[in-house]
């Protein structure tokens, strides 16, 4: 009798336990949730023509079955300045981190990539009167149009216009944001990138001088306005050519001038460069300078005044002979190659477009010719034919900075 009752009790307990597991399993299966603003991250990306809103990432807290996802499961709207509109979704996939990926990976993050050529893709506009790129206030919302289940059994129900709470900008976020004050009290904002280092090893440094559109006091636009600074810090480039990157930002004065040539900017940047070289594990035989437009002018200026400091230079759509040069002055043929005599042997790769409407291509042609007439054999020159640089010929830095041959050439130079 006792044994029989014991068996009944054990059977009953087993039945109750199994029933409890079924109930709890059902409860897990039926768990409901919804995305909120803390789950949404906007990823911006600096492309050749500047920063764009590139993707939204939604954190579902548990692994999501990628096979069930479709682009039409989401709608994305952007507010850029005073304009609001829909963004075109190009791809939806899962990842194991809140980042874009070339391939889908199992994970809790759903990445919603957007068309970078959308009308509202860019994060900034251009002020013609001030000749400045102007950053705009941006915010994004994502609408989930279909229920999405995680592998753990949670159902994320449809949601309407959930706003992003975080913004991530790959590469740009790896630059330190610093303000430098020299001995005279002059200040300049700058960004600084450090490579992954090995003990006892020294690394080259790239000094980048931005163009007129990127002047300001945000310590941001000279990194996001184009790829002039970030191209050198790109993980793919760093894997091949690890280097420091130094990117100062000139303040925006009321009148446009040759600000990298003017004081106190010139001396302050030079002092910053020297202090940086002394402070970090930098190879003094591999200091490079790259600049575009007004930064191209600054590149010619700094190498002409410091011919023994740099191992190589890349002036893009700049002016080499600065004697008597003024902004807005009509082109005059070069009469005396003397400005280039101390740099005739420096490795220099010049870029310009034939149809540049802002800086006459003849300035770069003259520089190359003068250096060669002085006996220089290390100058290289790339000129883009009319109509090949868009939206206009002044943007020659766009193809120049995508020239891997030039990048590899630069890092191969040493004093």
- Encode pLDDT of 163-176 as tens digits: 999 999 999 999 99
> Which pLDDT score is estimated for 41?
98
Residue 406 has pLDDT above 70, yes or no: yes
Residue 302 has pLDDT above 90, yes or no: yes
Residue 154 has pLDDT above 70, yes or no: yes
Taking alpha carbons only, the member of 244, 174, 237, 232 closest to residue 203 is: 244
> Which pLDDT score is estimated for 369?
97
Please provide the DSSP assignment of 190-239 as one string. EEEE-----TT--EEEEEEE--GGG-SSSS-HHHHSSSTTGGGT-HHHHH
Alpha-carbon span 231 to 315, nearest angstrom: 16
Banded model confidence at residue 327, pLDDT cuts 50, 70, 90: confident
> Which pLDDT score is estimated for 125?
95
The pLDDT of 261-275, averaged and rounded, is 97
Alpha-carbon span 220 to 51, nearest angstrom: 11
Banded model confidence at residue 3, pLDDT cuts 50, 70, 90: very low
Banded model confidence at residue 28, pLDDT cuts 50, 70, 90: very low
Residues near 262 by beta carbon (within 8 Å), at least 6 away in sequence: none
| Helix, strand, coil tally for the chain in percent (to 5) | 30, 30, 40
Token readout for 195 is 């490579």
- 408 C-beta neighbours (distance < 10 Å), count: 12
DSSP state, residue 185: S
The pLDDT of 198-227, averaged and rounded, is 97
Alpha-carbon span 133 to 222, nearest angstrom: 9
Taking alpha carbons only, the member of 321, 389, 403 closest to residue 355 is: 389
Token readout for 311 is 């191992």
Which residues, listed in sequence order, are joined to residue 114 by a DSSP beta bridge? 89
> Which pLDDT score is estimated for 326?
83
Residue 108 has pLDDT above 50, yes or no: yes
> Which pLDDT score is estimated for 37?
97
Distances (CA, A) of 363 to 22, 122, 211, 292, 303: 80, 32, 17, 14, 16
- Give 22 or 127, the one with higher predicted confidence: 127
Taking alpha carbons only, the member of 129, 153, 142 closest to residue 43 is: 142
Strands 83-87 and 203-209, by their bridges, are unpaired
Please provide the DSSP assignment of 328-351 as one string. TPPP-----GGGGGGGTTS-EEEE
Alpha-carbon span 115 to 41, nearest angstrom: 17
> Which pLDDT score is estimated for 30?
67
The H or E element containing residue 136 is none
> Which pLDDT score is estimated for 53?
98
The three-class DSSP label of residue 146 is coil
Contact 296, 318 (CB under 8 A): yes
Backbone angles phi, psi at 282, to 5 degrees: -110, 135
E strands in 293-378: 312-316, 348-353
The pLDDT of 15-28, averaged and rounded, is 45
Token readout for 47 is 């492309």
Residue 10 has pLDDT above 70, yes or no: no
Residue 21 has pLDDT above 60, yes or no: no
Summarised one tens digit per residue, pLDDT across range 30-53 is 699 999 999 999 999 999 999 999
Banded model confidence at residue 385, pLDDT cuts 50, 70, 90: very high
The pLDDT of 383-403, averaged and rounded, is 97
Token readout for 306 is 């410091």
């Amino acid at each position: 009798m006792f044994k029989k009752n014991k068996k009944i009790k054990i059977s009953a307990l087993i039945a109750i336990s199994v029933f409890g597991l079924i109930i709890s399993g059902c409860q897990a299966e039926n768990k409901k949730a919804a995305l909120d603003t803390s789950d949404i991250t906007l990823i911006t990306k600096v492309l050749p023509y500047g920063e764009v809103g590139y993707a939204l990432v939604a954190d579902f807290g548990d692994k999501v079955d990628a096979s069930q996802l479709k682009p039409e499961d989401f709608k994305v709207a952007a507010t850029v300045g005073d304009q609001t509109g829909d963004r075109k979704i190009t791809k939806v996939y899962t990842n194991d981190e809140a980042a874009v990926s070339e391939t889908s990976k199992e994970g809790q993050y759903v990445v919603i990539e957007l068309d970078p050529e959308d009308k509202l893709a860019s994060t900034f506009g251009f002020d013609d009167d001030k000749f400045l790129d102007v950053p705009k206030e941006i915010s994004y919302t994502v609408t989930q149009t279909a229920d999405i289940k995680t592998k753990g059994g949670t159902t994320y129900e449809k949601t309407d216009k959930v706003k992003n709470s975080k913004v991530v900008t790959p590469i740009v976020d790896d630059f330190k944001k610093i303000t430098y004050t020299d001995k005279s009290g002059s200040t300049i904002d700058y960004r600084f990138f450090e490579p992954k280092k090995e003990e006892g090893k020294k690394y080259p440094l790239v000094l980048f001088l931005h163009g007129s559109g990127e002047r300001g006091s945000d310590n941001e636009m000279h990194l996001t306005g184009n790829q002039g600074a970030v191209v050198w810090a790109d993980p793919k480039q760093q894997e091949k050519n690890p280097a420091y990157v130094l990117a100062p930002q000139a303040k925006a004065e009321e009148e446009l001038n040759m600000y990298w040539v003017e004081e106190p900017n010139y001396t302050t940047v030079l002092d910053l460069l020297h202090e940086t070289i002394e402070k970090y594990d930098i190879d003094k035989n591999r200091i490079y300078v790259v600049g575009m437009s007004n930064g191209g002018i600054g590149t010619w200026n700094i190498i002409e005044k410091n011919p023994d400091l740099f191992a190589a230079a890349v002036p893009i759509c700049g002016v080499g002979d600065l004697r008597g040069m003024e902004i807005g002055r009509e082109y005059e043929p070069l009469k005396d190659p003397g400005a280039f005599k101390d740099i005739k042997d420096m490795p220099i790769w010049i870029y310009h477009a034939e149809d540049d409407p802002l800086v006459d291509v003849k300035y770069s042609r003259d520089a190359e010719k003068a250096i060669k007439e002085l006996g220089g054999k290390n100058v290289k020159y790339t000129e883009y034919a009319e109509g090949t640089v868009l939206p206009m010929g002044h943007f020659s830095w766009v193809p120049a900075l995508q020239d891997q041959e030039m990048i590899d050439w630069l890092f191969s130079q040493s004093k």
